[in-house]
Amino acid sequence: MHILVATDGSESSANARDLVGSLPWPEGTAITLLMAYELPVSWVSGAAVGGDWMDAAENDLRRQLQEDVAEMARPLEGRGWTVDWRVVDGRPASVIRSVAGELDVDLVVMGSRGHGPMRSMLLGSVSAEIAGNADRPVLVARHDHVSRMLVATDGSDCAAAIPRRLGELGVFAGLRAVALSVATVDSPAYELLVNLYTLGGAPLEEQREQLLSTHREHAERMSADLGAAGIDAEAVVATGDPAHEIVRVAEERQAELVVTGSRCLHGLDRLVLGSVARNVLLHAEASVLVMRPKGEPRTN
């Protein structure tokens, strides 16, 4: 098992490190802390007109960042894991993806927001870019621990694979969970799309009941599969906008972690739902784990 923790020294990335440290990774797990940085535009501009001071300034900055990331790594040491760190010059999102591929890590972990232009700037936009484009699972941390989780399902093959992938990570067994499926009913937009899509087929109320029944089956199947992975889960069905309902139920159930697939949706659901994972990532107060098979490229 190899975990990549992207850090910029902020409180948010400290939460990411501490969340990783709170989980029972097996002995021998490799954890790499990565700090990326970009030189300020004013430095580059100054060098272009004869500012030969930039090399010395960059060396000083790099030494400081090396000290910072080494300090960030210390709480993870001496616990049976192999811990190392890197400081890399470059656009943060690009550096994170590159290093994740180079090391062939099993999970990328990062904070939700960073704290300034002199650091790697792990802002919400970078977290969203990594979660949306990485070719492996990404955990965006907003808490330093997890005792309750919510796993979202839409019944797709992508969602159905989540329990197995959680089992492969091997650190969530014993947690309490909600297996949530959201039926996109009770909205004018949904009614319009269903009427157009069915072209005068079954009445809308009948369609609604069939859809609710289908989502109950999705939730119950996810609950059973999570149970087989050692995670005790309650099946729950909600109605409405999926991202909104995932966030709402997570807050209501005090889940510190939301687990979702990325771009699993298809057909009519895709027209109605849009990018559910991205909206959950942007609006949830919980940490968000976006599950994708390692090595699977992003699809539009």
Note whether residue 299 is domain-resident. Answer: no
Note whether residue 275 is domain-resident. Answer: yes
Name which of 68-72, 97-101, 124-128 the model is least confident about: 124-128
pLDDT at 140: 94
Note whether residue 297 is domain-resident. Answer: no
Q: Does 290 score more than 70 pLDDT?
A: yes
pLDDT at 149: 97
The number of distinct structural domains making up the chain is 2
User: What's the number of CA atoms in the CB half-sphere (13 Å) around residue 174?
Assistant: 6
Q: Confidence class of residue 255 from pLDDT cuts 50, 70 and 90?
A: very high
Contact between residue 57 and residue 43 where contact means Cβ atoms under 8 Å apart: yes
pLDDT at 202: 57
Q: Which tens digits make up the pLDDT trace of 218-241?
A: 999 999 999 999 999 999 999 988
In the listed set 141, 159, 192, which residue is the last one of a domain according to the structure?
Answer: 141
Q: Which tens digits make up the pLDDT trace of 174-189?
A: 999 999 999 887 655 5
> What's the longest Cα–Cα distance across the chain?
74
Q: Does 193 score more than 60 pLDDT?
A: no
Q: Confidence class of residue 194 from pLDDT cuts 50, 70 and 90?
A: low
Provide the percentage of residues in the chain whose pLDDT is more than 70: 77
In the listed set 84, 108, 141, which residue is the last one of a domain according to the structure?
Answer: 141
CATH number assigned to the domain comprising residue 210: 3.40.50.620
Judge if 225 and 280 occupy the same domain: yes
Judge if 135 and 6 occupy the same domain: yes
Judge if 119 and 181 occupy the same domain: no
Judge if 38 and 169 occupy the same domain: no
Q: Does 21 score more than 90 pLDDT?
A: yes
Judge if 227 and 209 occupy the same domain: yes
List the structure tokens of 270: 């895709």
Q: Which tens digits make up the pLDDT trace of 144-162?
A: 999 999 999 998 888 899 9
Beta pairing partners, 32: 4, 84
Judge if 193 and 127 occupy the same domain: no
Instruction: Tell me how crowded residue 270 is: count the other CB atoms within 10 A of its CB.
Output: 14
pLDDT at 120: 38
Judge if 244 and 285 occupy the same domain: yes
pLDDT at 272: 37
Closest CA to 76 of 43, 116, 109: 109
In the listed set 141, 160, 189, which residue is the last one of a domain according to the structure?
Answer: 141
pLDDT at 279: 85
210-225 burial by CB neighbour count: b if 16+ within 10 A, else e? ebeeebeebbbbbbeb
Note whether residue 226 is domain-resident. Answer: yes
Judge if 172 and 229 occupy the same domain: yes
Contact between residue 109 and residue 5 where contact means Cβ atoms under 8 Å apart: yes
Judge if 132 and 155 occupy the same domain: no
pLDDT at 201: 54
Q: Confidence class of residue 251 from pLDDT cuts 50, 70 and 90?
A: very high
Domain housing 241: 148-291
Judge if 272 and 174 occupy the same domain: yes
Judge if 180 and 266 occupy the same domain: yes
Note whether residue 298 is domain-resident. Answer: no
Note whether residue 272 is domain-resident. Answer: yes
pLDDT at 186: 61
- Look up tokens 């999570």; give the residue: 226
| Mean pLDDT for the stretch of residues 55-71 | 83
Judge if 120 and 159 occupy the same domain: no
Q: Does 45 score more than 90 pLDDT?
A: no
